Chains A and B, each alone.
Chain A
Amino acid sequence: MDAALPHDPVAWAAWLKGAFFVSLAWLLLLLWVRRGREALTPKRRVHRACFAVLALAFLAVYAYQATWQLGGFARPAFVDFMKKYNRRPDNPAKRMVRGEIRDRRGERLAYDDADFPGRRVYPLSAAACHIVGYVDATYGMDGIEAADHPFLEGTTTATRDEQARFGLNLLQSRAPRGNDIELTLDAQLQREAARLLEGRRGAAVVMDPRTGDILAMASAPAFDPHRLTPDLFAGDRERAALMNRALRGLYPPGSTLKVLPAALALERGEEPLLECPASGYVAAPNTPPIRDHEYYAALRRGGAWGGHGRIGLGRALAKSSNVYFAQLAVRLGPSALSEHARRFQFNERVTVYDGSARAIRAEVGRFPDLKDHQRAAAAQLAIGQGEALATPLGMTLVAAAIANDGRMMKPRLAARAAPEWLAGCGTPKAMRRLRALMREVVADGTARAANLPGLDVAGKTGTAQTPRGEDHSWFICMAPATKPAIVIGVLVEHGGFGSTAALPVAVGLLKRADSLGYFHSTPSVAPGSVGTE
């Protein structure tokens, strides 16, 4: 009888089962009701307690049985066992439907194939592989698939909705279903970010500074989550395609970090005019002078450069003058600079996604704790060299804080989480002024290629020297500068000047965001407000 049944064992078999249950229940009821009319009459009540204990023991065993028979789907090791060794054609473990992961418009990012039980489909494939992750029998889990595994499997009971799903699964234990996840990601922007990074190493992050919503987060190189191979897991982790560079890649931030001393100066209401000669600036005795890149460019051409002369903060930012910011940092004070970096959450970890299994966290960056006598170090750090490091998400957060008038919002990836304040990084007045200066960088500075008509883009390029190979290329930007709706952070490893490699990626994303309507509607498309396609 263990061969597969030729076809459904006829409807009347189900009727027979129903009749059997009714008949058995009726018989037991009859026996219980008539218990007093039996031939024997109890003379004592000694055994009542004993029977009560026995009945409780049976009840406990029966309740425990339910945790396997009905709630077995909530035991991961058991589900694993059943997937491997339950050979029944109607194996409930294989009919379990894992929850879907969807973007803010309801587009599916991960779902179970209805035709092939147990097969997971990722419509965006490599484009969202790092953040969505994968779940695989051989290679395990990563990304949100790992962070929210129990939630997706329907085994959590934290909220009313999860409890309802859990209860339903208990009743329909032969075909349990997990909970769906809605993300703040925009699949269209995500695709574009991945496309623009293709063939390079780097990361791009798009955020809504007002809510902290992560609209896109791409990392390159990427991998196809449907085709995991052993090579993917072998070799140098840092170079591996598995690494989400947006969250885990720590890079010298280069000139993008100049916004930090700029912000601190503006907080103090200072915009000093400083002499910036071609000979550079010596922060401390016996240290090499810090010079501007124009000096080296002229040197390579075989010519000479006259220096910036006496310039203010705006001009210095637009021209990305190392000499100016090195002096500014020493003027502001090394310890004050460290203090300000901490306000921007350097040396902190921020939670990007708080899953039911674990949280996805990321560092904003690392910034050493300077003492006031460390003038040379402060000068180096102010221009983004030395010991300072930042993740692409971290620099995007710094830009988002500037964009949101000094209020850094917690990065938000799950639509079910409410937007949350993370830190106060500056006054609205200073931040407005900084945005105006960053607007100048795009209008008439190092980032002129990002000056898209009508979008009012503000930004800052960065070129970070690396021990080997070409410089890392950075660009952070926001638009519109007066009241930003979008913030973008891009890093391209060994991309050369910020304006050559990272900037075009950001421009592509700005254009796509524009065509998607992010600059026309305020606030931007709220997750859940648009129905599933």
Chain B
Amino acid sequence: MPPVRTPQRAIWWPVLFTVVLAFAMVWAVKFELAGEWQSRWAWPAVGYAATVLALRVGLALVGFRGDGALLALALLLAGLGLAIQFRLGTLALDNPARWSNYALPIGAGALWLTVALFRGPRVRALESFAVPAALLAVAVLGGMLALGQRFRGAVYLGGYVNPTEIVKALLVLYAANLLHVYRKAFEQPALPGVPAWSGGLVLSLAVFWALPMILLAAIRDIGLIALLNGTLLAMVVLMTGRAGYAVAGLGALAVAGLAIWKFVPHGAGRIGVWLDPFADPTGRGWQVLQGLSAMASGGLWGAGLGAGHPTAVPIASSDFVYAALGEELGYVGCGLVLLAYLLLFHRGYRIADSLRDPFQQALATGLTTMLALQTLFNIGGVTKALPLTGLTLPFISHGGSSLVTSFILLGLLLALSDQGKK
């Protein structure tokens, strides 16, 4: 069946229209409170529209022919995220010099660069970047440990830049290559769930996978460890088609969870709060209970963007942005946002299914799974369905490093989607 190419133009106007409606809700409340219109309120929306337009033009210039719907979904979510950040007051409208104001344009730029560099057949070049990527990841994590400062339990560099985010992209690239190189060992397991013996595989895993995990454990980023290993597991299961890995992986997860609960005080606290937040409602349980209170206050339809009180939730703008979403857009709005995410992941897996090359296929699978798991962990944590992992909500949470990384992951996926046709 020959691929049908339809221009994606029709999709862009609804995306822009929807995002502007989200901004309009905030404007209405701000106008009501201030009694006057302030022109600086328009800047985030104008900036968003300009970014979208520039990206369209930029991608057309490099001859991009990939999956426009995927890009549209990501920009829709990023637009909603910007409207919410504007509403929460995270954007410093008085201080145009703050770089975090420009996270979205920077992310879009990173996306464009990624697509421009690796679009089409050039995506094969990524294979040779795999080992350097893993080395870079180890270097970044080591540097963080040496130079970073602790804040809210995590390690940051100056200005709250969090370079561990980029490790996600680097290690998923490495994992895709590992799967490709040691495909045989994975496909002929010694036991169900254990790949066949290969000295190279053991060495690679020890140096380029286990070492970063140890460094992450030292940084105390358990969420990222869970995310990376979950992604690796999904990639192995999908690429080999062997359920044994899934069983072994889930078993390992249970053992790891139990070990964290028993031996890691920091992790035990999080699991304890998850099991019973009411044991310490004004201490450890405070954040998750305030988040749930916000959602309960939103009810089915929500207060409307700008009309609720989501700033009562600690860190509402980053980790707990989903609670703000629940309060102001209600259960219905949350459902629509989740549908947007699911559509995005559906596109990602479709791209993986359309690729022939095993490395590229593994990469597409890994990228999509990583975004999907991060979304699931974040939303699960805020709704108390899962323990808190400290992961952000892709494209919506405040946090420049996180947003830029999400756009780079998406850029790689878009680059992969562009080379299916001759």
Whether A28 and B338, one on each chain, are in contact in the complex, defined by CB atoms closer than 8 angstroms, is no
B203 within 8 A of A: no
B125 at the interface (CB under 8 A from A): no
The distance in angstroms between the C-alpha atoms of A28 and B342, with both chains bound, is: 10
| CB contact under 8 A between A92 and B296, given known A41-B3, A68-B384 | yes
Q: Which residues of B contact A60 (CB under 8 A)?
A: 385
B120 in the interface, Cβ–Cβ < 8 Å?
no
Q: Is the interface of B mostly helix, strand, loop or mixed?
A: helix
The A-contacting residues of B in range 64-113, CB under 8 angstroms, are: 65-69, 72-73, 76, 87, 89
Q: Which residues of B contact A418 (CB under 8 A)?
A: none
Distance in Å: Cβ of A176 to nearest Cβ of chain B: 10
Do residues B67 and A31 form an inter-chain contact, with CB atoms below 8 A?
A: no
C-alpha gap A37/B1 in the complex (Å) = 12
Q: Are B32 and A9 in contact (CB under 8 A)?
A: yes
Looking at the assembled complex, report how far the CB atom of B172 sits from the nearest CB atom of chain A, in whole angstroms: 16
- Does any Cβ of B come within 8 Å of A421's Cβ? no
Contacts of A7 in B (CB 8 A): 32
A55 touches B (CB below 8 Å): yes
Complex Cα gap A240–B157 (Å): 65
Taken together as a complex, chains A and B put the C-alpha atoms of A465 and B302 apart, in Å, by 68
Partner of B33, one of A1, A41, A64, A65: A1
Interface string of B300-319 (1 = CB under 8 A from A): 11111111110110000000
Would you call B387 an interface residue if the criterion is a C-beta within 8 Å of the partner chain's C-beta atoms?
A: no
Instruction: Point out the residue from B296, B304, B306 that lies within 8 Å of A14, measured CB to CB.
Output: B304
Residues of B within 8 A of A38 (CB): 4, 6, 67-69, 347, 350
The answer to the question of A26 belonging to the interface, with a C-beta cut-off of 8 Å to chain B, is yes
B335 A62 Cβ-Cβ under 8 A: yes
Q: Which A residues touch B352, using CB under 8 A?
A: 46-47
Q: Which residues on the B side are within 8 Å of A17 (C-beta)? A: 25, 301-302, 304-305, 329
Q: For A32, list chain B residues within 8 Å (CB).
A: 343
Q: Is A54 an interface residue (CB 8 A)?
A: yes
Check B349 for interface membership: any CB of A closer than 8 A. Answer: yes
Chain A residues lying within 8 Å of B28, measured Cβ to Cβ, are 9-10, 12-13, 16
Tell me the smallest distance from the CB of A306 to a CB of chain B, in Å: 75
Q: Flag if B18 contacts A24 (CB, 8 Å).
A: yes
Contact A72 B292 (CB under 8 A): yes
Choose from A13, A24, A40, A173 the contact partner of B3 (Cβ within 8 Å). A40
Contact among A39, A46, A65 for B417, CB-based, below 8 A = A39
Q: Does A233 interact with chain B (Cβ within 8 Å)?
A: no
Interface residues in A54-102 by Cβ distance below 8 A to B read 54-55, 57-58, 60-62, 64-66, 68-70, 72, 77-78, 81-82, 85-88, 90-93
Q: Are A70 and B299 in contact, with the CB atoms below 8 A?
A: yes
B381 — nearest CB in chain A belongs to which residue?
A61
Smallest beta-carbon distance B12→chain A, Å: 11
Distance of A64 Cα from B381 Cα, bound (Å): 11
Which one of A9, A24, A43 has the highest number of Cβ atoms from chain B below 10 Å of its Cβ?
A24
A48: chain B residues within 8 A (beta carbon): 349, 353
A-B CB pair tally, cutoff 8 Å: 250
When distances are taken between beta carbons in the complex, the residues of chain A under 8 Å from B207 are none
Query: Could you tell me if A21 and B69 are in contact, using CB atoms closer than 8 angstroms?
Result: no
Q: Is the CB of A40 within 8 A of B73?
A: no
* Residues of chain B with a CB closer than 8 A to A137's CB: none
In the bound assembly, the distance between CA atoms of A14 and B32 in angstroms comes to 13
Q: Is the CB of A41 within 8 A of B1?
A: yes
**Inter-chain contact A65/B341, CB cutoff 8 Å:** no
**Bound form: Cα–Cα A62–B296 in Å:** 14
B contact residues around A9 at 8 Å (CB): 28-29, 32, 304, 306-307
B91 CB, nearest partner CB in chain A, Å: 13
Task: Tell me if B156 is interfacial: C-beta within 8 Å of chain A.
Answer: no
Which residue on chain A has the smallest CB distance to residue B239?
A46
Contact B340 A28 (CB under 8 A): yes
Q: Can you list 6 contacts pairing A with B, beta carbon distance less than 8 Å?
A: A26-B14, A39-B65, A39-B421, A50-B349, A61-B380, A92-B297
Binding site for B on A (CB under 8 A): 1-3, 5-7, 9-10, 12-14, 16-17, 19-21, 23-28, 30-32, 34-35, 37-48, 50-51, 54-55, 57-58, 60-62, 64-66, 68-70, 72, 77-78, 81-82, 85-88, 90-93, 171-174
Q: Contacts A5-B307, A38-B67, A58-B379 known; list 10 others, CB within 8 Å.
A: A13-B29, A16-B304, A20-B24, A28-B339, A39-B66, A41-B354, A65-B326, A68-B384, A69-B292, A87-B312
Q: Report B's interface with A, CB cutoff 8 A.
A: 1, 3-6, 10-11, 14-15, 17-18, 21-22, 24-25, 28-30, 32-33, 65-69, 72-73, 76, 87, 89, 234, 238, 241, 278, 281-282, 286, 289-290, 292-293, 295-309, 311-312, 326, 329-336, 338-343, 345-347, 349-356, 365, 369, 372, 376, 379-380, 383-386, 417, 420-421
